[in-house]
Amino acid sequence: MREVFVIGVGMTRFGKHPDRSLRDLGFEACLSALEDAGVSPKRIEAGYCGNALAPALQGETGVGQNVFWEVGISRVPVVNIENACASGSTAFREAWMAVAGGFYDLVLVVGVEKTVMPKGTMLNVGAAEWETRLGDVFPGYFANVANKHMERYGTTRE
């Protein structure tokens, strides 16, 4: 296994971006990472894109292909990774494994997500599972975990 280095990073501003697409946000982050590394898109051998909710919220699939194409990367393997809240870190791990394992020397990883819902509505994660139909929502689940932790260990809100 080889040692792996992060040689450049880039990030958009966090915030609500009602007028920007996933492609546009991903493009900005990728371009600044390439510039930071001083690497031409031509040299990227594979792309990894983490995204969880585009199919549900933006009706979009293949986000990675769109983002990498926008930044001039195509005709290389592109992998889209959906792994809930861990989508971005999973994309990073897969990229690391590919380089550590000697499959590629230079890859690009991006995570991009837009989850702002209309005011007063809850993040919609579909209704395929019975718990969801019975009212289970992400914040409610994590609130259960937090309340239990506070009860058991005396953890406070701060």
Partner 1 sequence: MSASLENGQGEAQWVVVQPGLFQYPLAAEEKPALLAARCCQCRRVFFPKRRLCPTCFSTEMEDIRIRGRGLIYSAAVVHISSPSGIAAPYAYGYVDMEDEDVRVFGLFSGDRPESFSAGRDVELAVGPVSTDNLGRQVIGYQFVPVLKPGDPPGD
Residues that bind partner 1 (CB under 8 A): 120-125, 127, 130-137, 139-140, 143-148, 151
Neighbours of 63 (CB within 10 A): 24
Output the smallest distance, CB 51 to partner 1, in A. 20
Residue with smaller CB distance to partner 1, 96 or 138: 138
Cβ 39 to partner 1, closest distance in Å? 42
Q: Which is nearer to partner 1, 2 or 157 (CB)?
A: 157
Tell me which residue of 50, 44, 80, 86 sits closest to 65, measured CA to CA.
Answer: 80
Residue with smaller CB distance to partner 1, 43 or 133: 133
CB of 58 to partner 1, least distance (A): 16
Min CB(153)–partner 1 separation in Å: 13
Q: Which is nearer to partner 1, 16 or 42 (CB)?
A: 16
Helices 63-70 and 22-37: angle between axes, nearest 10 degrees: 50
